[in-house]
Structure 1
Amino acid sequence: MSTPTPRLALVTGANGYIGARTVGAFLSAGWSVRGTVRDLSSSTSAALAAHLASYIASGRLELVSVPDITTPNAFDAAMRGVTAVAHLASPVVLDSDDPDYVLGTAVGGTLGALESALRASSESSESKGLLKSFVLMSSIVAVGFSGSDGVVTEADWNTEVEEAMSQQGAAEARGMNVYVASKIASERALWKWVAEKKPAFATSAVNPVWVAGPPLYLPLSADQIHGTNQFIWQVLSGQEYPPGPPGYGTHVDVRDVARLSVFAAEHPDIVDGQRYIAGGNGNFGVPQAAADVLREAYPDRRDVIKKGTPGQGYEPRWASPPNVPKIVSDKAVAATGQSWIPYDKMVLDAAKMFEAFL
């Protein structure tokens, strides 16, 4: 491992879609970054290293392997000398037949990272006092979609899925509920741990809505486009697209999610003990909206992109429709002084990258 560097961020799950963007955002903000990946020889790790080769050569970026995030002390070595931690490493499995693995890995990885952070900041550690901020990448699914009077804020929790999992039992659970339960359990574990251990470093959680937008680098092929971006590729490439929205229809650009992690790292006094919904405040779209945006932006592809029923299924200026939960993210906007990248720019910037596959 390299010598500890001032303003050194640890990004776990660095080769993921959001993780890579987070690494890029920290580097652009002047930080040095240590990124953990499960396998340094994987195609995604190699692609990240190739894209950011100049930062590796300059010593501002190093990638290290943490094969199993649930192993005791798994993050100890990676945690040395860091100023901030963005913990993104967690299983994203939507159809698992092994719910205990998904839940155990999500919770165990979070608690393991927190314990390593605590050891790194202890009295006996050479890194004592360096760590200022620990931010967990949670999800809107941990907040839920049924707040008071249809308005969802950071005060809400997804108790519906918690109750369903409690009645059903984790061993019998399947599908999306397992993923949702893992995000809830992981964030619950964070706040319980904080209440018990009272760490000297700030802790916070980022809860993004449906994340889309341009990845840090182009994947090797179209079939490797991240799942949350598939609707953009489907529309651009002329495939049939579903009428309904992905998730609950409210989007956030991956660049904004990464920006919020950097903000948390740089403002521990503001974020300590807080959750922040990333996205929301409208930014509602369906694949038909993406088709309308792309048919206007690509007039030469109007015979390729499915026309559908223009203007249907979404509101002007990407406002929240009256029949869906209103996800309010004023808290993050007020804290950072910056609003969200709008839906049409998110779609257009991703499509620009995916042109390479046409």
Structure 2
Amino acid sequence: MEDGSVHRLVLISGVNGYIAAVTAKQFLDNGYSVRGTVRKLSSAQPLIEGPLKSHAQSGHFTVVEVPDITVDGAFDEAVKGVTAIAHMASPVSFNFTDPVPILHAAIHGTKTLLTSAYTHAGPTLKTIVLISSIAAIRNQTPAPYTFSETDWNDYAESEVQRLGTDTPGPVIYSASKTASEKAFWEFRDTVHPSFTMTAINPVFVIGPPLIAPATPAAVGETVQSIWDVFRGAAPAASPVVLSSTVDVRDVARLMVYPVEHAQATDGERYIASSATQHPQAIADILRKAMPEARGRIEEGTPGVGYREDWQADGKNGYAVDNRKAGRLLGGWIPFDESVVDTAKSFVGLV
């Protein structure tokens, strides 16, 4: 940390979420205190009584209830005394059917937090980091094309306006992330706050959750491809929603970085992307690393359909430029390590 202090207080909204929980642990393990927000206090009990128990007992991990993040003043109390904020509370699903409440939560949740931070956090607040998404970057530029932090999604919001409740779930999600991040930067450009502001834009996030899923139904959408192969589905039958992936622990490291390097990252976006997933690669990795599951995991066609370095083969004409964030981290967690660690969280489900 820049000033060498310990237990500076970070507010993490939606702390019980998949990425947010891992981010909370990353901050705590690096000497910060964390105040998390949840809609209901009961939803944080698995963290308090589980992997973050020692931090809770020491008082360095606390949780407050914010029932509705879109209500004006919702975060007024939560932001007091914090030195940094990681805004991570936002609807996440590819199966949304009604865009209205999703966009409302994404946009107004961001606006209310920023307003509370500006008016109630006080001079201790140094930086706010937003978890955005590659969905706010990917657009319909014809292939071949490499997406970078300068790109913006230029179609999802208009599609929502055109199609309403007929809008496909992934497009609704993309529109919500785009609108949320636009609101984030609009606030910065309009208000010119004293605190710095940074956005992290992950691709499909894989890697081990802080709390293993208790049932198959609890398996997260972004690790569904790994779960499908692990439970015995044929690799050829396991769909990949998005091929670009990044480990959740790398995303957590990226969320911490702007807090420790506020001025250097002010006003910046960072794409978090490290590998390209393929169901056959997942099968090959797991059959080698977990011989006890080999009889269940379908063999498929070993070695076919992916590169050994887990990078994009360029066949679809699109790529993602991950160099900007990669320079901050000094390297990414290898894809095979992410796959194996994710699968270990499924062991009790089959």
TM-score class normalised by the smaller sequence:
over 0.9
Deviations 1:215-254 (A, max 9, x none): 1122222321212112222212213455566333111000
2:297 corresponds to:
305
Cross-structure match for 1:152:
147
Alignment map for 1:174-323 (pairs within 5 Å) = 174-241=168-235, 243=237, 246-280=240-274, 283-323=275-315
Task: Verify the 8 A CA contact 1:214 1:346 in the aligned structure 2.
Answer: yes
User: What one-letter code is carried by the residue in structure 2 that aligns with 1:182?
Assistant: S
Which position in structure 2 is the counterpart of 1:73?
73
- Helix, strand or coil at the partner of 2:92: coil
Structure 1 residue 46 corresponds to structure 2 residue 45: yes
The match for 1:329 among 307, 318, 322 is: 322
CA contact (8 A) 1:142 1:180 kept: yes
Moved more, 14-23 or 240-249: 240-249
Counterpart of 1:139 in structure 2 is: 133
Q: Tell me which amino acid in the other structure corresponds to 2:320.
A: I
Q: 1:248 to 1:273 in 2, by over 3 A?
A: same
Partner of 2:99: 99
- Give aligned-pair identity as a percent: 43
Residues 149-180 of structure 1: CA deviation (Å, up to 9, x unaligned): 411100001113244335x1546534221111
Q: TM-score, normalised by structure 2?
A: 0.92
Runs (4+) of structure 1 exceeding 4 A deviation are 145-149, 169-172, 241-245
Deviates more, 1:235-244 or 1:216-225: 235-244
- 70 and 225 in structure 1: CA distance in 2 versus 1, 3 angstrom threshold: same
Measured in 2, the distance between the counterparts of 1:68 and 1:112 equals 10
How do 1:153-172 residues align onto structure 2 when only pairs under 5 Å count?
A: 153-166=148-161, 168=162, 170=164
Mapped to 2, the partners of 1:244 and 1:156 lie a distance apart of 30
Q: Specify whether residues 146 and 173 from structure 1 end up closer, same or farther in structure 2 by C-alpha distance, changes over 3 A only.
A: closer
1:212·1:346 contact (CA, 8 Å) conserved in 2? yes
**What are the Cα deviations for residues 263-318 of structure 1, in whole angstroms up to 9, with x where unaligned?**
111111111100000114xx111111100101111234332101112222212211
Task: Check the 8 A contact 2:132/2:181 in 1, yes or no.
Answer: yes
Please provide the CA RMSD for this pair: 1.8
Q: Distance in 1 between matches of 2:141 and 2:320?
A: 9
Does the aligned pair in 2 maintain the 1:245–1:285 contact within 8 Å?
no
Q: Which amino acid aligns with 2:145?
A: G
Partner of 1:125: none
Q: Structure 1 residue 34: deviation in Å? A: 0.1
Within a 5 Å distance, the mapping from 1:2-13 to structure 2 comes to 7-13=8-14
- The secondary structure found in structure 2 opposite 1:115 is helix
1:21 aligns with 2:22: yes
Length, aligned pairs only: 342
Aligned to 2:3: none
How far apart are 1:261 and its partner, in Å?
0.5
Q: Does structure 2 conserve the Cα–Cα contact (< 8 Å) formed by 1:244 and 1:286?
A: no
Q: CA deviation at 1:337?
A: 4.1
AA at the equivalent of 1:26: F
Shift in alpha-carbon separation, 1:242–1:19, aligned structure 2, 3 A: farther
User: What residue in structure 1 maps to residue 82 of structure 2?
Assistant: 82
Please list the CA deviations of residues 135-159 of structure 1 after superposition, one character each: whole Å capped at 9, or x if unmatched.
Answer: 1110001000556841110000111
SS at match of 1:247: coil
